[in-house]
Amino acid sequence: MPTEDKIDLARLPPVLPVTVARTTPDGLPTKEQLDWDQFARNWYKTTVVNLNTRLTEVRSDTDGNSDSIVEETNARTSADEALAEQITTVQASVGTFTAGGQVYFGARATPSGAEAAYGIYLTAGNAFTGFEMIAKSDGTSAIGLSANQLYFTDSGTGTNVFSYGFDTDLGQNIFTFNVPVRIGTEEIFPNSVTKPQDSTINASNLIGDTGGNWVTFISHTAQTDGGAYSALIIADFMYRVGSSGGTTSANWRLIRERDGNIRTLRSGALSVFVDYTPVLTARLITDVRDNDIFRLQARIAATAGFTFQFDDKSILLDLRKR
């Protein structure tokens, strides 16, 4: 028989007052007596007979709004299993809005192995987040986290160390680190990032005599968010003679334009090819800034009616923050 410290005496069935009749005039039990018998029976069943389970519930309802807290404790053993678990569940509802949470803590052992688990689960409407830990006697363990945003802040400095969430510019979820990151023994320098950018034009350009001027057939403006970047500049295009019937002298160049100043990065001659000819060039520079303009240009000296046709033009900036 259990001792009193294992039983919730606050729920002990009260004794019926002497003013309450136990039997009717014809000797049958009264309704009050029957209610007391049923209450006492349920109490003994859940408290004395079923000591391996405890269920406590607190509930409130007002004008259709409701909430509840349920605490469940189980401790069960059998010939081939031992299970101990605690589950706390909270729920709240107002109109069409609902929210809930659950904390689970349990341990289980069988002849084939044992495991322990802990979890926190939260829902509000259609949103869900959860955290789980599990350890198994076979030597494996795991920690799982489910959320669509994640933040980690240094409690000592208040610094936002890193975050995970949706980036409106990229249109996808990304990790953002605000401190140096080390991989193995090699440290990625503070604020080190890769920021590829490109421009592509597939439409054709027909360019004839340019009157001694350089004519741009594709350009790209660097967006560096105000930071200092190194970059590998890769540019390519296809060209051929568009129409002929005269003589020509022609050149191409890749330039960087900043504040009206021009720096030639690569250049070459254009030959008179009837079939498409590819041109691929690259240049590494260490001082790319915001709003630098990179251009592919052609300068053609030709008689009337002679043109070059340019297709599949592209410029790629592989930016790396310094």
What digits encode the pLDDT tens for the residues 280-289? 999 999 888 8
What average pLDDT does this structure show over 50-68?
Answer: 81
Q: Judge whether residue 75 has pLDDT over 60.
A: yes
Q: Judge whether residue 267 has pLDDT over 50.
A: yes
With 0-12 / 13-18 / 19 or more C-beta atoms within 10 angstroms meaning exposed / middle / buried, residue 14 is: exposed
Instruction: Please tell me the predicted confidence (pLDDT) of residue 185.
Output: 64
> CA distances (Å), 68 to each of 93, 154, 207, 304, in order?
9, 35, 77, 88
**Position with higher pLDDT, 314 vs 196:** 314
For residues 103 and 118, what is the distance between their CA atoms, to the nearest angstrom?
8
Instruction: Please tell me the predicted confidence (pLDDT) of residue 237.
Output: 95
Instruction: Please tell me the predicted confidence (pLDDT) of residue 77.
Output: 86
Instruction: Please tell me the predicted confidence (pLDDT) of residue 129.
Output: 94
Q: What percent of the chain has pLDDT over 90?
A: 47
Model confidence band, residue 127 (pLDDT cutoffs 50, 70, 90)? very high
Instruction: Please tell me the predicted confidence (pLDDT) of residue 21.
Output: 85
Instruction: Please tell me the predicted confidence (pLDDT) of residue 189.
Output: 54
**Position with higher pLDDT, 102 vs 321:** 102
Q: Judge whether residue 190 has pLDDT over 60.
A: no
**Position with higher pLDDT, 227 vs 125:** 125
- Please, which contacts does 269-274 make with residues 24 or more away whose CB atoms are closer than 8 Å? 270/239, 270/298, 270/300, 270/308, 272/241, 272/244, 272/248, 273/239, 273/240, 273/241, 274/240, 274/241
What average pLDDT does this structure show over 91-108?
Answer: 94
Q: What are phi and psi of 61, to 5 degrees?
A: -135, 130
Instruction: Please tell me the predicted confidence (pLDDT) of residue 231.
Output: 87
What average pLDDT does this structure show over 114-138?
Answer: 95
Instruction: Please tell me the predicted confidence (pLDDT) of residue 100.
Output: 94
What average pLDDT does this structure show over 14-42?
Answer: 81
**Position with higher pLDDT, 110 vs 77:** 110
Model confidence band, residue 132 (pLDDT cutoffs 50, 70, 90)? very high
Model confidence band, residue 8 (pLDDT cutoffs 50, 70, 90)? low
What average pLDDT does this structure show over 126-147?
Answer: 94
User: Which CATH number, 3.40.50.10860, 2.60.120.660, 2.30.40.10, 3.50.50.60, labels domain 196-321?
Assistant: 2.60.120.660
- Pair 103, 131: CB distance under 8 Å: no
Find, among 124, 76, 123, 84, the residue nearest to 104 by Cα: 84
Q: Judge whether residue 252 has pLDDT over 90.
A: yes
Instruction: Please tell me the predicted confidence (pLDDT) of residue 239.
Output: 94
